[in-house]
């Protein structure tokens, strides 16, 4: 089992469990028995980008504080994401492609599918897929809890997914990608290149906000 794919499976499991939405009654997700759904591959990549890049997640928290969408106390949480080795230890770089940060998740997600924890559903016809939704089943939700109960050191995953859910706040994948593109370091990265860290930029914004608010 590839370690990177296993870490990816853990991230996706907790993102689905924490940042996923409850299925709409009568929807395909509901009829399939899902307990949570992330609508569109674009959205799951946007959420995974924040999960993998604590500095970008911290910046988004500060943006929401600046906009009045989050209380000022959240600045402390943003700062914690930048402390010590956190940005480097938890950072899993992603390449920038035509539509933003991207990395194939097929191998990681296949672990969840094979274990009956999750599934994906493609809307449209072969060759003309309009959208791919990602489902979490009750077995997956139970395992997400069990993992943390048995391995306290993995508490980082649901905790970080909770912050990602906070900044995602029910927005669509295109909305989340749009927010990420507002950062020059993200938008100006050459296609096919690694999106660079922004810890210094975030610290400057944190200092400016504390002086102003």
Residue-wise pLDDT for 155-197, tens only, equals 999 999 999 999 998 889 889 988 888 877 777 777 777 778 8
Task: Give 206's pLDDT tier (boundaries 50, 70, 90).
Answer: very high
pTM of the model: 0.88
Q: Quick check: 154 and 10 in contact, CB under 8 A? A: yes
Helices (H), the chain: 3-19, 28-31, 41-52, 54-66, 74-80, 86-89, 106-114, 138-150, 156-168, 173-181, 184-187, 199-212
CA distance 37 to 39: 6
């Amino acid at each position: 089992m590839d370690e990177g794919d296993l870490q990816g499976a853990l991230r996706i499991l907790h993102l689905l469990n924490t940042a996923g939405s409850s299925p709409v009654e009568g929807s395909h997700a509901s009829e399939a028995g899902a307990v949570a759904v992330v609508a569109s591959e674009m959205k799951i990549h946007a959420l995974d980008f924040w999960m993998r890049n604590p500095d970008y997640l911290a910046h988004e928290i500060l943006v929401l504080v600046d906009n009045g969408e989050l209380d000022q106390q959240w600045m402390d949480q943003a700062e914690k994401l930048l402390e010590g080795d956190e940005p480097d230890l938890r950072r899993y770089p992603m390449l920038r492609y035509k539509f933003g940060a991207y990395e194939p998740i097929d191998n990681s997600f296949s672990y969840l599918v094979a274990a009956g924890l999750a599934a994906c559903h493609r809307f449209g016809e072969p060759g003309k897929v309009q959208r791919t939704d990602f489902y979490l089943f009750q077995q997956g939700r139970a395992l997400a809890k069990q993992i943390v109960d048995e391995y306290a050191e993995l508490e980082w995953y649901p905790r970080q997914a909770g912050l990602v859910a906070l900044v995602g706040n029910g927005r669509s994948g295109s909305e989340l990608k749009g927010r990420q593109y507002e950062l020059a370091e993200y938008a100006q990265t050459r296609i096919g290149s690694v999106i660079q860290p922004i810890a210094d930029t975030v610290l400057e914004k944190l200092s400016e906000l504390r002086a102003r608010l």
